[in-house]
Chains A and B, each alone.
Chain A
Amino acid sequence: MDTLGHLAHGFSVAFTPMNLMWCLLGTTLGTAIGVLPGLGPALTIALLLPITYQVAPEASFILFAGIYYGAMYGGSTTSILLNTPGESATIVTALEGNKMARSGRGGAALATSAIGSFVAGTLGTLGVAFLAPVVVKFALAFGPAEYFSLMVLAFITVSAVLGSSSVRGLTSLFAGFVIGMIGVDLQTGQPRFTFGTSELLDGVDVIIAAVGLFAVGETLYMASRRYAGKDEIVPLKGSLYMTAAEWGRSWKAWLRGAAIGFPIGAMPAGGAEIPTFLSYAIEKKLSKHKEEFGTVGAIEGVAGPEAANNASAAGVLVPMLTLGLPTSATAAIMLSAFQSYGINPGPLLLTTQADLVWGLIASLFIANVILVILNLPLIGLWVRLLKIPAPQLYAGILVFATVGTYGISQSPIDLVILYLLGAAGFLMRRFDFPTAPVIIGMILGPLAETQFRRAMTISNGDWSVFYTHKLSLTLLTLAFIGLAGPHIWAFIEHRRRSGPEHVPGDA
C-alpha cells in the first residue's frame, strides 16, 4: 500500500493553509472561466503562467489543477443554461441538459452534473493515484524510439481521430510543429525559422500562442459573427434538489460514465470527446425513458457524459505526469509550466518530485469537494456571470491578452506575433480547423524531434529502429490504424453498398 502512504504525504502538502487557499482560488477562477463562453482552462492557465516566476511549483500546480477541474464544472452550467458548449467535450451535456432546462428541470440537470462530476472526478483522481505508479514501471522500459512512436500515436489520435476532419486536424498539428521549431535548435545551436529577426531566436512563447489563438482569434470570430443571433439564457427554474427518482436514474450513469471516461482519458491518446459521446450512446441505449431523449431531456444523458468528461480529465493527467505526454491543450500548457520550473515530467517525476506530484493529486480530491460546494448552493451566483454583456466581456478578454503577452518582455514584437496568431486563430475558427492540436504540436513537436534524433543517433542513422523494436512497431501500427482505419472502413462499406461499380479515389 505504497500509494496510500504517498497520498497521505500528499495531503500533508495540500492541507497547508496557503495551498488550500491556492486550491480555493483555482477552483473559483476555474468555475468562473468555465461559465464564461469563449474562455477555457488552457487560455486561463497560459495567462497565469507568469506566476511560475514568483510562486513555488506545488502552489502553482495546485492553482492550475483547480482551474482545470473548475472549468469542467463551470462549462456544464453554460451548456445547460445557454446551450453554448465551451468545448467539444461539453457538447453532449448541452444536448440533453439544455432540453431539461427548457422543460423546467434545469436545477436537476445542474445538480446531476455537479454531483456526477464530483463522483467521477474523485474516482478518476483515485485512478491517477493508483495507475500512475504502474504506468511509470512500464514507461521505464521505453527507449527514444518507443517514445517517438508513442508521440506519433498521440499526434494522430489527438488531431486526426478526435476532430471532425483528419486533414484539418493534422494541418493544425503541423502548423504547431512549425511554430514549435521557431528559435534556436537545442542540439546544434542553429537558428531556425527566424526569418533573420533576433526577436524570434528565443522561439514563440506558449503564452502568446495560446492567447493569440484562443483569445484574440475567438474575439475576432465573435465580432465577425454578430449577425448569427444570440443564444438566450434559460432562467433557472425548479428546485436544485433531485427527486428520489432522479437520484435513482443518475447514480448508475455516473459510475458508468466514470468507468468509460477514465481509461480512455488515461490512454496516451487521451481526449474527452470519445468517452462523452460513447457514454451518451450507452445511456440512451440502456435508458427506460428513451422518449425523453431529445424531447424534454433525459437526466441520464446529462449524468453519464458529464461524469465521463470529468473522469477523462483526470485520466489525461496520467500520461502527462508519467510520460510527459500531454493529450489536451490544457495539459500541454501545464507541461510548459513544468518546463519553466526546469522540471521534466516523465517516469522519474513521481520519485524526484514526490511532494509536487502527490501534493497535486491530493489537492485534486480537495478541489472536487470545494467544487461541489461552490457549484450547488452558489449556482445562482455563477449564472449571473452569464449576464456579462458580450462587448465588455470580449474587450476585457483582449485587455488580459495584452497583460499576458506584453508582460513577458515589454516588446511590441510580441504583440505583433500575438495579433498574427490571432488572425490565424480567426481563420481556423472560421474554416473549422481545431486549435488545440496547434498548441499540442508546438509543445510536443520539439520533444518528439529530440526523441527522434536521439533514437537515430543511437542507431547510427538506421531508420529500422522504429520498426524492429516490437513496442515501437506496435505503437506505430496503432497510429496507422487510427489514421487509415476509418477511411478503409468507409471504403469497404461503400464497396459493399455500391457493388463493383465503385469509383476508386472517392473513399
Chain B
Amino acid sequence: MSTINQPAAPSRLAVPELLVGIGLLACAGAVAWQTLAIPVSPLYSKVGPTVFPYLTMAGLVVLSLLLILAALRGGWQPEEEKETPTDWKAMGFVVIGLVANLLLIRTLGFTASSVIMFVLVCYGFGSKRTLRDALTGLILALAAYFGFARALGVNIGDGFIENQLNAVIDAIIGALGG
C-alpha cells in the first residue's frame, strides 16, 4: 500500500457524520443485546428466530464502520447543507408542541390538545396571529375528529369538547328521527 501520493487529511474529520456512524454502531449493539435475549429452543438451532437478527446486526456493524470511515475522510454532506444554520428555536417550539400533545391528549381529549399543538407549531414556524391559528386548528381538529371518529369509526381520544359535541349531535339526530 503506497501512501506517497496520499496526503494525510485528518483535519477534514466530519464530527456530525462521525456521531451518526457511532450512533448507528450503538444501535447495532442494542440489536446484539436484544438478539442474545431471544430464547432459542435447540430444535431451531439452524434457522431459528435469531438467524435474521444476527445477519441484520452484522450488516449494521459493517455499514456503520463504512459510515465512520466516510466521516473520517471528510463526511458526505454537501457544503450547502452544512452552511445552512439550524433554526433551533423553531424546532424547539415544534418539539414542545409534540410533547404537549403527548402529555395532554389523555386528559384534555384529542381536539383540545391538537389545538394547543397546532398553535405552538404555527408559532414555531413564525406565525404571529395566534388567535387565528387557534381557530384554524380547532376547525381542522374537529374536521379530523368527525372524519375519522364518526365516519370511519376509528376511536380517537374523546375529551370534553368531543363529548359535548357528540351529545348535541345525538340530540339533533334524535329530534329529527323522533
Contact = CB atoms under 8 A, between A and B. Distances in A.
Given A171-B24, A399-B118, A399-B137, A188 B44 contact: yes
Interface string A197-224: 0000000000000000000100110111
29 contacts: A168-B67, A177-B56, A191-B38, A192-B38, A193-B34, A194-B34, A195-B34, A219-B94, A220-B94, A223-B94, A223-B124, A223-B125, A224-B88, A227-B85, A227-B87, A391-B122, A391-B123, A394-B125, A395-B118, A395-B125, A395-B137, A398-B94, A399-B117, A399-B140, A402-B117, A403-B148, A407-B148, A410-B155, A445-B52
A416 B31 contact: no
A394 B121 CA distance: 8
Nearest to B69: A167
B105 interface: yes
B97 A226 contact: no
A53 B63 contact: no
Interface string B68-110: 0010000011000100111110110111011101100110001
B101 to A, nearest CB: 6
A392 interface: yes
A461 interface: yes
A415 B101 contact: yes
A352 interface: no
A222 to B, nearest CB: 8
Interface of B: 1-3, 5-6, 16-17, 20, 24, 27, 31, 34-35, 38-41, 44, 46-49, 51-53, 56, 59-60, 63-64, 66-67, 70, 76-77, 81, 84-88, 90-91, 93-95, 97-99, 101-102, 105-106, 110, 114, 117-119, 121-127, 133, 136-137, 140-141, 144-145, 148-149, 152-157
Interface string A395-418: 110111011001110101001100
A449 interface: yes
A228 interface: yes
Which bracket fits the contact residues of A? 35 or more
Contact of A168 (B2, B5, B76): B76
B91 A419 contact: no
B91 A188 contact: no
Contact of B46 (A50, A226, A402, A456): A456
Given A391-B121, A410-B156, 12 more contacts: A50-B148, A168-B76, A170-B63, A216-B98, A391-B123, A391-B133, A398-B94, A402-B101, A402-B114, A403-B144, A412-B106, A453-B52
B125 A390 contact: yes
Contacts of A50: 148, 152, 154
Interface of A is mostly: helix
Contacts, number: 206
Interface of B is mostly: helix
A195 B30 CA distance: 10
Contacts of A170: 59, 63
A406 B66 contact: no
Contacts of B53: 181, 192-193
B110 A403 contact: yes
A174 B154 contact: no
Given A188-B48, A219-B121, A415-B102, A226 B157 contact: no
Most B Cβ at <10 Å: residue of A194, A223, A453, A504: A223
